[in-house]
Amino acid sequence: MANDLTFVIARAALFTSFAIVLVLIARKPLRRWLGVATVDQSWLFVPCATTAALLPGTVAPVVPLAPILQPIRVLAAHSAPATTTPIEALFLLWAAGMVLMAARFIAAHYVFLRQAGDLSAYQGFYVASGSVGPASVGLFRPRIVVPNDFIQRCSALEQTLILAHEQIHIDRRDALANLLCAIFQCGFWFNPLCHFAARRFRQDQEIACDAVVMATHPHRRRAYAHALLKFHTGASELYAGINCPWQSHHPTKERLMSLQLSSPGTARRLAGRCFVAVLAAGAMAATLGARAEQAAAASTYSVAMTLDAGAEHAAPRVVAKAGEAFAIASDNWRIELTVRPAQSFNDVWIVGKLIKNEKVVGTPTLLTRLGEKATVKAGDGEQALGLSMVVSKQP
């Protein structure tokens, strides 16, 4: 089970990284051509690609791939553990990292609540006894929280603009999108691209809300920029999580420059929505296509074995595709094996599980050359197991 999950996680990380790179490359041109809302929505490309990577491979039809996806297919076809570290250890390491990352988000949320202190309702929003905010907080009962000096620090116009920005976050259910983003960061904590993309996603989210406010208050750009700068120096990492702060560690310069962009017309908005829909559908189709072509082109191996299990001797021969599990058994032993291609063309990984009397006693992982003998031994005395294997590639 750990073997399968480990390779599924690795495969999902590969396709997720490819999707992130495409969005990062396209986000600024899209902002100029189709508006900031299209950039914010284009991040749907990433979960679509990840979902397609997690689906069972049997659902994917074999379709031809665009040339840009060929490197991804090659990487997926040759994915294999890079060391002899047991797969179970890698799985436990991933699970531990995921728990620690989740704990970091939970701790950041509670630090925010503790620093906010007591909340006092005031004209539709809440004033914190501390200096945190402004921010929209909460997933099921969202509320706008402002710092204790908000009324004295901001003019009436600036207060209106800031509160409008935070209300847009609530109306768009951005906290839910931020929760999904945090889950991605927890699941792919080992991938620095995911953490970099999370910052850019949150930045595009803020710019999209800025654009909605500017569409409603087109002549208030100067006041809006002043409001941004007033809270720039107080930004910190405490806003990590699902909260939607008015200001954070994200670059303020990019938000100020985006205020100069004109709102797209109806035709451009419609084109942007169509582009996002096509992009999301294309993400799933391309990922499924890459996996299907990978499965269709998977190598087939012939494994000639010699089994010595106590008084039992056998010489089974199995033909299996790369990554396809197969098993042999004696009276007391069951050996489950999977052959995968390694980095070198002439090498393969043999991932096994040794089960004696329904109990797992070993999980060997061997790197061997095609045509050469690989041996596994377990147990002592008359109950010992000896298994030698010679793997050759089928034409």
pLDDT in tens, 261-299: 666 666 666 766 676 677 667 666 666 656 555 554 567
Distance between CA atoms of 176 and 87, rounded to whole angstroms? 33
Q: What is the reported pTM?
A: 0.65
Task: Identify the pLDDT of residue 52.
Answer: 81
pLDDT (tens digit per residue) in 346-376: 889 999 999 988 889 889 999 999 999 999 9
Alpha helices (runs of H) in 125-191, residue ranges in sequence order: 150-153, 156-171, 174-187
- Dihedral, CA of residue 153, residue 157, residue 163 and residue 165, to nearest 10: -110
Q: Phi first, then psi: give them for residue 371, nearest 5 degrees.
A: 90, -5
Distance between CA atoms of 58 and 63, rounded to whole angstroms? 13
Task: Identify the pLDDT of residue 136.
Answer: 92
Nearest Cα to 367, choosing from 345, 385, 351, 355? Answer: 351
Q: Which segments in the chain show pLDDT lower than 50?
A: 58-70, 72-73, 76-85, 235-240, 296
Which strands form 244-245's sheet, in the order they lie side by side?
A: 119-122, 125-128, 143-146, 135-137, 244-245
Task: Identify the pLDDT of residue 65.
Answer: 41
Distance between CA atoms of 249 and 206, rounded to whole angstroms? 12
Distance between CA atoms of 291 and 60, rounded to whole angstroms? 7
Distance between CA atoms of 231 and 217, rounded to whole angstroms? 20
